[in-house]
Structures are given as C-alpha cells and as structure tokens.
Amino acid sequence: MSDPFSAQITIDTHRAIGEVSPLLFGGFAEHMGRCIYEGIYDPQSPHADERGHRKDVLAALKQLGISILRYPGGNFVSNYHWRDGVGPRDQRPRRRELAWQQIETNHFGTDEFLDYCTRLGCQPMLGLNFGTGSIRDAADLVEYCNAPLGTELADQRAKNGHRDPYDVKYWCLGNEMDGPWQMGALSAEQYALKAREAAKLMRAQDPSIKTILCGSSGPFMSTYPEWDRVALEIAWEQSDYLAMHDYATNCESDTPSYLGYAAGFESHVDTLAATLRYVKAKLRSKHDVYLSWDEWNVWYKDRSGQGGWKEAPHLSEEVYNLEDALVVAQWMSVFLRRCGVLKIACLAQVVNTISPILTTREGLLKQSTYYPFELFSRHAKGTSLDALVKCPHYETKRFGDVPLLDVSATFDPATGKGAVFLVNRSLGKTLPTAIRWLGHLPERMTLARQLRGMDPKAANTFDHPNTIMPEDVPPPQINGGATTLMLPPLSFTVLVTADA
C-alpha cells in the first residue's frame, strides 16, 4: 500500500506458534454475589427447569462455548468446606460466608456443579480450600468425586445420586494464597509445602489428575514473580499448571492507554513463562508446567464486595461497554499468541458478577464482552500463527508506543479453515489493511463479522440490548492469497477463510 496510514499483515501457515488449547475458552463461577444464586441456579425464575437451572443462562453459556468451568472460588473457597454442599438440601447448613459477607445456603454444591458441567458440555475445574482446609480435606474431595464404589466417600456420592465417578481432571491447589485478603494466607514456602503434600495425597487417590499451583495474585503484588519462583521450586514435580490472575482497569478513563493493554498482558505471560523455564532448568527436571490464566477480565467500575449478610447480594455487577469489549478481544488474541505456554484460561466470571451475562428474574442481557469471547471460541481452531504486522503506532501514557492494530490468526490443517482476529485501536481513523497469506493459501472468505462503534463508552442495556453487538459485513475477496479491507476505528473484526 502506498498510503503511509495503512497496515500490512503477512500470515504464513508454516510459522506456527503452537496448538490452540480448547481450554483457553473457559469460565469461572464463584459463590459471589449473584453468580450462582439468581444466575446459574434460580428455582424462582420462570426460566428455571426442574433442577432449578436457568435455561436461558445455560443456553447463553453453551452459545458462548465455555470449555472448562472453575468452581467454587475464588476468595470464597478459602473458608468453604465441601461437605456443607453435598447430601439432601434440607439438611445442608446455612453459613455466614466470610469472603464476601453474605449468607450461603449451600443449596448448590459439588454434585450440582458437576451435573451442570455435564449439561453444559464442559470440563470441571474444582478449587480446594487451602486457607482453613487441610490436605486431608483435599484428598477426600478427590475420593468423593473420582473413586469407584466401595469406600465411605465414594458410597456417599452414590447415595447422593451419582454412582459413577465424575473423573474430575483439573484441581486448583487453593486461591491467591499470597493475598493478605485471603483467609488463611500463607508465605510462599508455607503454601508450596502444603500444596506439594496435598497433591501427593490427591494423586494417591487418582494418579490421572492435573493440579494447578497458585501463583502470585497479579503483577501488582510485591510478591510477583518471586512467589511464583519459590512455590515452583518446592512443588514443581507435583504441579501441572501455574495459576495467574489479572484484571484490566481504566480508572483514569484513558481510552488510548486502555486499548494498549495487550502489552501488559503479554508482559505478564512472558515473565511467568521465563520463570517456568528458569525453575525447570534449575531443577534439571524433565517435567513441564504450563500456565493457567484462571481469572481474567475487565473489573474496575464496580468493586463492591460487601454483601451485607444477604443471600445473593448484588456485588460487582460490572456494566461493560465498547472499549471493554475491544480489550477482551485483545486479551484473547494474547491467548493465541502465547498458546505455546498458556493452556487454560477462565473468564471471571460467567453470570452477573463481573460477567458477560446479566440477569433479572425474568430476563437475560448479553453484554458487549460476550461477543468477542463467542467469536474466538467459535473460530480459533487448530494452530496459532505468528502473523507479521506492519502498521502505524501511537503513544500511550501507560504502555508507551503501541501498534494501532492488534492481530492474531489461526489455521486448522484438518479442515482447511483459518481465522484472523483484528482490533483497530484508533479512536477516529479507518485503517486500510492488506493481508497476504503464505504457505497454505485460502481460496475464499466465508465470514466477516465486525463489532464497532464511535463511542467507546456505549453499552448494552435491558432496554437497548443490541447497542454493541457484531454484524456481518461483506467478506472481502481473496485473490492469489491476498485481500484488502478497511478497518473502522474502535472495531473488532473476525475473518474466516476456507479452501474452495
């Protein structure tokens, strides 16, 4: 292109980053606010089925393509005793839930969650209480979920309605244990020793499980990334993944910086990936540990966390707008660009509490952030490709020099289908863009969808639910493995290609 304000993208199907793990499109459901009660489970809603599940929520999560669901916390899990949530509902105790200061009825627990995962068609990821809980409690829950009949806990599972083992594969060894806000917070050494010994007991119950070790609670922590190094050095051989958490913020209402957040996300992954390499080399281990970004989202407008000792209080019901959706789209592109080390990601959370879905008792709203997630989970298949991007840059207060265009791409050799994901960060300029493919050349564009707007603060509401949502646009023609298109400002575009 001769226009200096333009972009050129080269996508070579031979330049593979790695396989795209289906578990990058996961979610998180915590007993916080209205995520479980009045979200997933609401027997009083006209949309409830015979199990008390919201049918409209279940359908929306299926459409979202949730592949793995983390439960039950979060901060909640550090004082949660799983036995409170199994057995006849009328015999389960009501508890004062200390993390969010709400009343927990325990009407929804382990069996209900695992049943929900089956209905949703996703893998479960169970969190364990490493605050007030013991390593014996952790091993007992593995036995309850995964052991064959013939022992007390497996027989109790059968009595509670599920004879066959659940075969839960993914287990979180606590949550944010370096956080001073965490009930039973530990030093890195204390935590790692507990995690290592718990994992040994858990694997004695079921050697096939995969464990997720707590990392530091985020890049803002003074413990980051030293906590991660220390914990890994102690518990490396008993860990399969290292948990990482992060939330994007725009408290300054600095949209140009906010839209450059992918630089921060990539730095977070790269720092922890380097830590993994260092520890593996130091220990001279042949075992690999990968990353699990099992809490991520935009969260800064509603930080309410005090439930006033109510059942299902309205907590952190963030309202998402266009710029939030563009940040989510970039975050998911980072998942693809770092998929060599990042294998699991869980959007925190899935309903009502900092979620892409909001409910009233009668209705459901898909927020702006719903749509990027859906488009990635639907179209990002096969192999992630290392796209070469040449485009104008702009300066931000927070991240310095940032490219105007954010790009990721995938190709699935099994189907011949490819996808390109593009965010134009410009607040006011359309970006002429040329794309050229090398290697396996696509022959046609089968789909072009675009989420865009002129107001970065525009949001969906129950009265106006379609303010921010993707629209089909005419797919550009591919000629000789190349195409051109115009990317509007403040836009997210998905292109899907195929063979003839």
Mean pLDDT of 195-213: 98
Range of the structural domain that residue 198 is part of: 21-379
Residues 411 and 362 in one domain: no
Question: Is residue 170, in this structure, part of any structural domain at all?
Answer: yes
Q: Which of 379, 413, 431 is the last residue of a domain?
A: 379
Residue 97 annotated in active site: no
Residues 87 and 195 in one domain: yes
pLDDT at 407: 98
| Domain containing residue 330: CATH number | 3.20.20.80
Q: Is the pLDDT of residue 4 over 90?
A: no
Question: Residue for token digits 């333009």?
Answer: 6
Residues 361 and 471 in one domain: no
Mean pLDDT of 41-56: 96
Q: Considering 295, 317, 318, 323, which one is annotated as catalytic?
A: 295
Residues 399 and 367 in one domain: no
Residues 321 and 450 in one domain: no
Residues 370 and 395 in one domain: no
- Cα angle value 21/241/167 (rounded, 5°): 75
Residues 364 and 393 in one domain: no
Mean pLDDT of 393-414: 97
Mean pLDDT of 34-43: 98
Reported confidence tier of residue 471, pLDDT bands at 50, 70, 90 = very high
Residues 25 and 128 in one domain: yes
* pLDDT tens column, 109-157: 999 999 999 999 999 999 999 999 999 999 999 999 999 999 999 999 9
Omega of the bond leading into 74 within 30 degrees of 0 (cis): yes
* pLDDT tens column, 304-337: 889 999 999 999 999 999 999 999 999 999 999 9
Question: Is residue 2, in this structure, part of any structural domain at all?
Answer: no
Q: Are 375 and 326 in contact (CB under 8 A)?
A: no
Question: Is residue 1, in this structure, part of any structural domain at all?
Answer: no
pLDDT at 3: 66
* pLDDT tens column, 359-399: 999 999 999 999 999 999 999 999 999 999 999 999 999 99
Question: Is residue 60, in this structure, part of any structural domain at all?
Answer: yes
Q: Is the pLDDT of residue 248 over 60?
A: yes
Residues 120 and 241 in one domain: yes
Q: Considering 176, 318, 323, 374, which one is annotated as catalytic?
A: 176
Question: Is residue 283, in this structure, part of any structural domain at all?
Answer: yes
Q: Is the pLDDT of residue 269 over 70?
A: yes
Question: Is residue 316, in this structure, part of any structural domain at all?
Answer: yes
Residue 443 annotated in active site: no
**What is the amino acid identity at position 45?**
S
Question: Is residue 254, in this structure, part of any structural domain at all?
Answer: yes
pLDDT at 155: 98
Number of folded domains that form the chain: 2
Mean pLDDT of 12-30: 98
Mean pLDDT of 426-447: 97
Residues 58 and 197 in one domain: yes
Q: Which of 327, 352, 379 is the last residue of a domain?
A: 379
From 403, 417, 319, select the one nearest 13 (Cα to Cα).
417
Mean pLDDT of 236-265: 98
Q: What is the mean pLDDT of the chain?
A: 97
For the chain, what percent of residues have pLDDT higher than 70?
A: 99
Beta strands 241-248 and 7-12, pairing class: unpaired
Q: Is the pLDDT of residue 39 over 80?
A: yes
Mean pLDDT of 12-27: 98
pLDDT at 500: 73
Q: Is the pLDDT of residue 1 over 50?
A: no
Question: Is residue 215, in this structure, part of any structural domain at all?
Answer: yes
- Cα angle value 139/145/148 (rounded, 5°): 100
Q: Which residues contact 90 (CB under 8 A, 6 or more apart)?
A: none
Residues 332 and 396 in one domain: no
* pLDDT tens column, 73-92: 999 999 999 999 999 999 99
**Element (DSSP H or E) covering residue 158:** helix 152-159
- Rounded CA gap, 97 and 85, in Å? 13
Residues 430 and 368 in one domain: no
Q: Which of 379, 409, 424 is the last residue of a domain?
A: 379
| Domain containing residue 431: CATH number | 2.60.40.1180
pTM exceeds 0.95 for this model: yes
Q: Are 142 and 205 in contact (CB under 8 A)?
A: yes
* pLDDT tens column, 95-114: 999 999 999 999 999 999 99
Q: Are 456 and 427 in contact (CB under 8 A)?
A: yes
For the chain, what percent of residues have pLDDT higher than 90?
A: 98
Mean pLDDT of 59-64: 98
